[in-house]
Structure 1
Amino acid sequence: MIRALASKRLDAAERELGESHDYMRHILNTSLRAFLRFAKIFPISDYRRGLPADAYHVARIVAARDEDCGTCVQVEVNLGVRDNVAPEILQAVIDRRPDQLPANLQIVYEFVGALVGKTGNDEELRQAIRRDYGEEGLVELALAIGASRFLPSVKRTLGYGKACSLVEVRLPEHR
């Protein structure tokens, strides 16, 4: 019964986000216990209370892009579209054109890039994040970045993240 309910929820998520969740089905079908533990990431992954939607989604896209070459990034873009982030902001992030972002979002983009690239030049950017969004905003960014990297890693580990795909700013069609 729990598997059936979880499977229906995965079907709904695929329709909403426009991408396959086969790797999650793999976990569900292999071990219900593992799936129930795995599912605990979702309340963390979508936690956003004070951070503006555009900053939140810029961070998630940049973080996911470092771990994935397509479908997980597309899900992140689709979530941004769903949360009414301006298409030109999403497109600038996809195109790796931070110069086309407003200054506060350039900082988010560069901060996440410094973190995932382990460049060591993140402290000044972290201070700018604190200035713009406060300590709570920094915490929300930390959760968004961590979760956005976790899911593609699980997917790739299970062998479901093999093909690269073109990422587009589009609203997934409801099936």
Structure 2
Amino acid sequence: MLTNIIIQAAERATGVTMDYLRFIAQHSRSGFWKFLRFMPLARYRRKLPPDLWHAARIVATQVDDCGTCVQVTVNLALKDGIPASLLQALAHRKDEKLPPNVRDTVMLVRAALTGDESTATPLREALVRQHGEEGLAELALAVASARVFPTTKKVLGLAKSCSIVEVDVPQG
């Protein structure tokens, strides 16, 4: 069945099981196909550098998830060439190990998601100066779309256990 092929491909691409997609496919076939139409938005990036885009998605996912969805974002970032050392710092919230531009993006996302406008505003303005309004729009879409996955899993009751995110750092 086509839905199984799609789900298995997603599992290979992300490195984790996609039980929530199986649930949706089984119980709402039309919902499954509509959910797949959301995926291009979740992958959309044109203006922001890959390290900032992936950092924003990891941080946004950390707010709503304690493991599996963060692992997916980390795995996809590794496939996109983001250095494992940067991903380890992000996954384990070691902001002091982040380059300044990534640290500022991380702080902006956290501040925006907690409603801390006094912190978010100058960071947002700095991001716009560096990457333009389009970069800010991409950041907003990256953050919002990253949160869809853990939210979906939580509502379905499929986000019950925590897992530790592991990032392998290549030797040498």
Under TM normalisation by the shorter chain, which class is it?
Answer: over 0.9
Q: How does 1:107-122 map to 2 (within 5 A)?
A: 107-121=104-118, 122=120
Per the alignment, residue 122 of structure 2 pairs with 124
Alignment counterpart, residue 94 of structure 1, candidates 91, 95, 118: 91
Alpha-carbon shift at residue 51 of structure 1 (Å) = 1.2
For 2:46 and 2:89, locate their aligned partners in 1 and report how far apart those are by CA, in whole Å. Answer: 24
Alpha-carbon shift at residue 165 of structure 1 (Å) = 0.1
Q: Is the 8 A contact 1:78 1:170 kept in 2?
A: no
Alpha-carbon shift at residue 136 of structure 1 (Å) = 1.1
Residues 1:103 and 2:100 aligned together: yes
Residues 1:75 and 2:110 aligned together: no
Per the alignment, residue 9 of structure 1 pairs with 6
For 1:133 and 1:101, locate their aligned partners in 2 and report how far apart those are by CA, in whole Å. Answer: 19
For 1:132 and 1:91, locate their aligned partners in 2 and report how far apart those are by CA, in whole Å. Answer: 25
Per the alignment, residue 47 of structure 1 pairs with 44
Alignment counterpart, residue 22 of structure 1, candidates 13, 16, 19: 19
AA aligned to 1:81 is: L
Q: Which runs of 5+ in 1 are unaligned?
A: none
AA aligned to 1:138 is: L
Runs of 4+ in 1 over 6 A off after TM superposition: none
Per the alignment, residue 167 of structure 1 pairs with 165
Q: Is the 8 A contact 1:104 1:132 kept in 2?
A: no
Residues 1:66 and 2:63 aligned together: yes
Q: Which runs of 5+ in 2 are unaligned?
A: none
For 2:168 and 2:33, locate their aligned partners in 1 and report how far apart those are by CA, in whole Å. Answer: 31
Between 1:103-112 and 1:35-44, the stretch displaced more is: 35-44
Alpha-carbon shift at residue 150 of structure 1 (Å) = 1.1
For 2:167 and 2:81, locate their aligned partners in 1 and report how far apart those are by CA, in whole Å. Answer: 12
Q: Is the 8 A contact 1:130 1:137 kept in 2?
A: yes
> % of aligned pairs identical?
43
AA aligned to 2:164 is: L
Q: TM-score scaled by structure 1? A: 0.92
AA aligned to 2:103 is: Q
Q: CA RMSD in A?
A: 1.2
For 1:105 and 1:93, locate their aligned partners in 2 and report how far apart those are by CA, in whole Å. Answer: 9
AA aligned to 2:57 is: R
For 1:59 and 1:99, locate their aligned partners in 2 and report how far apart those are by CA, in whole Å. Answer: 16
Count of residues in correspondence between the two structures: 168
Alignment counterpart, residue 81 of structure 2, candidates 78, 81, 84: 84
**Which whole-Å deviations, capped at 9, do the CAs of 1:35-78 have from their partners, x for residues lacking one?**
12222210100001121111011000000000000000000000
AA aligned to 2:72 is: V
